[in-house]
Amino acid sequence: MKNRTHQILPTGEGLAEERPGPRRSAFLVLVLWVIALTAQGQSNENQVPLENAHANASVVENNPLNLKTNLQDSLTERGSYNFSDMGSWIWGAKTMDRQTCRFWKSFEIPEGAKVARARLRITGDNEYTLFLDGRELGRDAEWRHLYEYDITALLSPGQHILAVEDYNSFKEAGMILGLQIGLADGRKVSVKSDPSWVVGCDGVPGWENVRDWQKMSEPPPSWPPGTIIAACGSGPWAVSPWFIEIVPPLNCNVIPFWQTGWFQITVLAVLVMLALVTLWVLTQLALRTKEQRLLQRERARIARDIHDDLGMRMTQLVLQGEVAVSEVPAQSGLHSQLSQICEDARGALRAMDEVLWAINPRRDNLREFTTYVCRYAQTFLKDASIQCTLDVEPEMSSAAFNLPLRRNLLMAVKEALHNAAKHSHASELSLRIRCQGQALHVVVQDNGRGFEPGLASPDRNGLTNMSQRMNELGGRCLIKSQPGQGCSVEMFMPLVNSRRNLLRPNWFRKFSALMTRKSNQPPLAVSQETPILHDQANQTLRQEPVEDRAD
């Protein structure tokens, strides 16, 4: 504490008369300089709860000291600078150099009251930091500056905690504070620095280790009451403040929701969950891919085993049988029996070929499917003496066409071919396979005698089977026929959603089929829907009305 040469002035009155002229101007320069420094310091300090640069500007505006050359004028103008509402200078039991002292005080705003105005003034020798309910309101390091805080907005009914940390560099030490609260109903609450405060400083065991002492609702245990060093305006600080710094009104620190703990925890939790889910999905995908690869490898192995071992033996069997046939006289019964065995063995080989075709992962594409179906149709119809013509895209796409799809579609095509061979009496049959956009279009058309779809006998399950198969694949099957005009079976299978369709529940498929039929009718579904055969629940065989047959 230096330079305590000024006269004691318990109130603000008569401050100017005591001062000689030249000293006054020097004093004013000093005041302006300090204000500038303080303003700068405040704006730089994050912890000081000035809202923003705008608030800083209002410091200047609110503070006429900055503009007025006459300090006396400014003080009288404010009219409120009597220090009767200030407390006393208080400190711990012992005063030492380089000593920190903590002050704690709780006060109560009555229930239901509304705070009209709350003004807190404070200064400390040498440095103070002021807390309200654990929140730092401000700090300063010059005891000659009195700070005035407007904390109206911060006070609500209930208990509040004032806390001050003060640091003394050397010699005299003290803190002085006064809080005036005017309630809307006219009542007043006043808090002053006095022995009702508790003090934590050297000599109080464990005082430094009290956590969150600034916001403790009970006084920190074993802290003794404060000691009055001097009354306001007396003792070593018998001098008026050089100036009074009026801090702009403090607002409730509304923490944006994204800065609140619970929000951050929620976001973090969500992110962790997301990461976990992603990880899980990725693992599943990787596993599935691996499974698929393993499955493919296994299928390839089985195919190779069947081909290399079983196929070889069966071929040998046929060969041996044929040798035996050739060495037995043609007239004997043994000859025909042996021939029959050879024929059966060939049949078994053909069946095995089909199994091999289905198993082999190399065949899981459209091109292989087309090749196989064409070959099957040609071989099969050759035996039935029906001329088969093919209409296949020369460059069939090699897009993936997985096992369940190609197998089921093959079965459906076979069914159509068998029907034609058995019932149509046709001489020619055309097989058309086209890839239209994202769908495969297979048409089997014969020039046979045809039939009346409405009168088709109920034992011809082939037609039902075909439609059922196509429905299971998410596709459609349309059978058109008229007596004497042949028969055409059109199968339409979407390639994109085919896999999803297999997984979808039945009701969903029906519903979506209904919706798509309503909204955009594909060329195949022009016909009205009339069940030809049994009235089974999932029977969706469609019949083209006679008058619709323009072709």
Partner 1 sequence: MTKPIKPSAKNPLKIALIEDQPKARDNWCRLINSFPDLSCICACKSGEEALRTIPEVPPDVILMDIFLPRMSGIECTAQLKAMLPQTPIIILTAMDDEELIFMALEAGADGYLLKRTKPADLRAALLEVLDGGAPMSSEIARRVITSFRTKAKTRDKSLHLSTREEQILLLLTKGCSNKMIADRLDLSVVTISHHLKHVFEKMHVSCRTEAAIRYMSLHNPQD
CB of 392 to partner 1, least distance (A): 7
Phi then psi for residue 441, to 5 deg, are: -120, 115
Which of 301, 534 has the CB closer to partner 1?
A: 301
242 dihedral zone (left: phi>0; alpha: psi -120 to 50; beta): alpha
Task: Tell me which stretch binds partner 1 (CB under 8 A): 124-132, 165-173, 271-279, 303-311.
Answer: 303-311
Distance from C-alpha of 1 to C-alpha of 395, rounded to nearest angstrom: 100
Residues 477 and 466: beta-carbon distance below 8 Å: yes
Of 346 and 449, nearer to partner 1 (C-beta) is: 346
Q: Kindly identify the residues of this chain, within the stretch 183-222, that bind partner 1 according to CB under 8 A.
A: none
Residue closer to partner 1 by CB (options 356, 399) is: 356
Q: Out of 289, 315, 340, 398, point to the residue binding partner 1 (CB under 8 A).
A: 315
- For partner 1, the closer of residues 284 and 389 by Cβ is 389
Contact set for partner 1, span 419-438 (CB under 8 A) = 431
What is the distance of C-alpha 373 from the center of its chain? Answer: 48
Q: Which is nearer to partner 1, 256 or 394 (CB)?
A: 394
296 scored as a contact of partner 1 (CB under 8 A) = no
Which of residues 375, 422, 500, 534 is near partner 1 by CB under 8 A? 375
- Indicate the residue type of 8: I
Taking alpha carbons only, the member of 67, 72, 64, 81 closest to residue 16 is 72
Give whole-number Cα distances, 300 to 20, 313, 314, in Å. Answer: 110, 19, 20
CB of 353 to partner 1, least distance (A): 6
Q: Which positions ≥6 away from 203 have C-beta within 8 Å?
A: 92, 93, 94
User: Could you say which residues in the range 327-366 bind partner 1, by CB under 8 A?
Assistant: 327, 342, 345-346, 349, 353, 356
Q: What's the closest the beta carbon of residue 313 comes to partner 1, in angstroms?
A: 10
Query: Is there a contact between 65 and 71 (Cβ–Cβ < 8 Å)?
Result: yes
Alpha carbon separation from 205 to 100, 191, 197, 201, 208 (Å, rounded): 14, 27, 17, 9, 8
Binding segment for partner 1 among 290-298, 313-321, 404-412, 470-478 (CB under 8 A)? 313-321
* Packing angle of the helix pair 403-419, 461-472 (nearest 10 deg): 160
Nearest-10 Cα torsion for 503, 504, 510, 514: -110
d(CA 105, CA 164): 9
Least Å distance between CB 358 and partner 1? 13
Count of helices and strands (H, E) across the chain: 11, 18
Return the number of the residue (1 or 348) whose C-beta is nearest partner 1.
348
Q: Which of these segments, 207-215, 257-265, 315-323, 481-489, binds partner 1 (CB under 8 A)?
A: 315-323
- Report the C-alpha gap between 332 and 280 in whole angstroms: 71
Of these, 72, 320, 397, 539, which contacts partner 1 (CB under 8 A)? 320
Q: Any bridge partners for residue 221, and if so which?
A: none
Instruction: Give 169 or 389: the residue with its C-beta nearer to partner 1.
Output: 389
- Minimum CB separation of residue 450 from partner 1 in Å reads 22
Q: Residue 225 carries which DSSP code?
A: B
- Rounded least distance, CB 342 to partner 1, Å: 8
**What is the crossing angle of helices 403-419 and 366-383, to 10°?**
20
Q: Is 431 or 439 the residue whose CB approaches partner 1 more closely?
A: 431
Residue closer to partner 1, measured from CB, 148 or 428: 428
Q: Does 386 bind partner 1 (CB under 8 A)?
A: no
Closest CB 322 distance from partner 1, rounded Å: 5
Residues that contact partner 1, how many (by CB under 8 A): 36
Half-sphere CA count of 509, side-chain side, radius 13 A: 21
Could you say whether residue 40 binds partner 1 (CB under 8 A)?
A: no
Rounded to whole angstroms, the maximal C-alpha distance in the chain is 154
CB atoms within 10 A of CB 375: 12
Smallest separation (angstroms) from partner 1 to the CB of 476: 26
Complex with partner 1: residue 82 or 315, whichever CB lies closer: 315
Query: Residue 113: exposed, middle, or buried by beta-carbon count in 10 A (0-12, 13-18, 19+)?
Result: middle
Least distance from partner 1 to the Cβ atom of residue 375, Å: 6
Contact 117, 178 (CB under 8 A): no
Shortest Cβ distance from residue 478 to partner 1 (Å)? 23
Of positions 322, 449, 482, 533, contacts partner 1 by CB under 8 A: 322
Of these, 8, 153, 281, 312, which contacts partner 1 (CB under 8 A)?
A: 312
CB atoms within 10 A of CB 389: 13
387 vs 538, beta carbon nearer partner 1: 387
Question: Least CB distance from residue 371 to partner 1, whole Å?
Answer: 5
Residues 121-140 that bind partner 1 (CB under 8 A): none
In the complex with partner 1, which residue's Cβ is closer, 342 or 412? Answer: 342
The verdict on 228 binding partner 1 (CB under 8 A) reads no
**Residues of this chain, 387-416, that bind partner 1 according to CB under 8 A:** 387-392, 394-395
Distance CA 256, CA 270 (A): 19
CA distances from 456 to 221, 307, 450, 465 (A): 100, 42, 10, 14
Measure the CA–CA gap between 486 and 388, rounded to whole angstroms: 14
| Residue with Cβ nearer partner 1 (115 or 489) | 489
Cis, peptide link before residue 126, omega less than 30° from 0: yes
Q: How far is the CB of 429 from partner 1 (least distance, A)?
A: 10
- Chain positions contacting partner 1, by CB under 8 A: 304, 307-308, 311-312, 314-316, 318-320, 322-323, 325-327, 342, 345-346, 349, 353, 356, 371, 374-375, 377-378, 387-392, 394-395, 431
